[in-house]
Structure formats: C-alpha cells, structure tokens
Amino acid sequence: MFKGPSEAAEFCTALKRRLAQLDGVDVAVFPPFASLDAAVRTLSDSDIAVGAQNVHWEREGAFTGEVSAPMLREVGVYAVIVGHSERRQLFGETDESTGRRAEAALAAGLDVIACVGEAEAEHEAGETQAVLRRQVSALPRNESLVVAYEPVWAIGTGRTATPDVAQEAHAFVKSLLDVPVLYGGSVKPDNAAELLARPDVDGALVGGASLELESFAAICEAASRS
C-alpha cells in the first residue's frame, strides 16, 4: 500500500526512462488499485507492463471493496497477483480462494502470478515440500500462470533464502507444475544476481526493494544479465 496516483505516475515515468535500454527481461509493476490507471497511462508507450495486487473471483456482485477481472482488463491491466503472503496472513485468504481468484483472472485473459510459500514454523519443522504441494495443488493448470515462491520467513525480515534453498524449492514446484517460478523473499540488488543465476529461478517478485527506483532498476539489470 504505497504510491498513490501522482507518485505512481512519477515513479513510472522515471522507471521507463531508466530502463529504456534494458534487454532480455520482462518488467512489470503492480501498484495499488487507485494507481492502476495512472500507471497504465504513463507506461503505455513502453514495454513495462502493469498488474494488480489482487482480484475477486466473481465478475460483479455484492462484494463491497473487491475488484473483478473484467474491471482490471478495462483499465488496461495485463496481470494480477493472487495469494500473496500478506493477503493470506493479514486477510485470511486461503489456498481455495487463491485458486478461485487465479481461475477467474485466467478466464478473463489476465496473466496470473500465484504466490506460495511456507511460514517460519513450517520451515523449521521441515514441512516446506508438504506446504508447497498443498498450495500448488489448488492452482489451475494454465500456460498464463506463473508461480512465485515466497518463503514467508524471509519476507520483510531481512532474511533471505540461500540460493541453494531457493533452487531446491523452485525445482520442487516445477516438479508439480510446469510453469515459470519467481523468487519473492527479500530480493535486493546485492543478492539478486546470485539468486537469479540458479537454473530454476526464473525471475523475482520484488517487494520493498521495488519502492526505490535505483534498487528496483538494479534488480532488473541483474535479471537481464542472468
């Protein structure tokens, strides 16, 4: 919940200028709902895509506060994130609701980044694969689906899964579902290159480091070299 419309437009203007010569990597920004239109308009003449942070599974109805996939399409959004760890932890979203959101978005023609990952207690108990298997099993099979592995114990804590731990989790997800898998746990400019060099790490879902232009651009540039 950062960057209202004016700040988002300013950021996107600077980002497209900063990454104008970048090759070999797909870049997307996912601002809050209120800033989607500003981002879409600002980036319409660039290769940087715009996505939303969540979506409801119904097309319309008595769901105050929710936003549907057709609404996002009309704004000009190309993708959406579902099942983010903060949505699961703070707002009670489940594997089932994540799957329903993904299905609705995909049916509407949106690309989907579906987040999976284990909490600290699950990680310490050696339950990573069991958690990932359960979460992945709730997702639809679709060529427009991307999975993001978010080790919850490494989000906003300053801790990062080692490249080997990330690689193992990504390889396991790919053994369950043949899709690209992004890493999303405290990705920063100083660890991005090493993480992205692992064979089954296909990109990054960047959190806090995406709020500052230079740090986000540095991660994009690291991805282009990986």
Identify which of 151, 164, 155 has the alpha carbon closest to the alpha carbon of residue 116: 151
pLDDT at 226: 83
pLDDT at 216: 98
Q: Where are the domains of the chain?
A: 1-51, 53-208+219-225
Please indicate, yes or no, whether the overall pTM of this predicted structure exceeds 0.85.
yes
pLDDT at 186: 87
Question: Which residues of the chain are modeled with pLDDT < 50?
Answer: none
User: Chain-wide mean pLDDT for the chain?
Assistant: 96
Q: pLDDT, tens digit, for every residue of 133-150?
A: 999 999 999 999 999 999
DSSP 1-70: ----HHHHHHHHHHHHHHTTT--S---EE---GGGHHHHHHHTTTSS-EEEES--BSSSSSS-TT--BHH
H or E segment and range at residue 116: strand 111-116
pLDDT at 223: 96
- The catalytic position among 84, 93, 123, 221 is 84
Q: What percent of the chain has pLDDT over 70?
A: 99
Q: pLDDT, tens digit, for every residue of 71-88?
A: 999 999 999 999 999 999
- The catalytic position among 93, 103, 118, 150 is 150
Kindly state the tokens that stand for 55: 């979506």
Distance CA 150, CA 84 (A): 8
Domain 53-208+219-225: homologous superfamily in CATH: Aldolase class I (3.20.20.70)
Q: pLDDT, tens digit, for every residue of 198-220?
A: 999 999 999 999 999 999 999 99
Active site includes 84? yes
First to last CA, the chain: 30
- The answer to whether 126 touches 168, Cβ cutoff 8 Å, is no
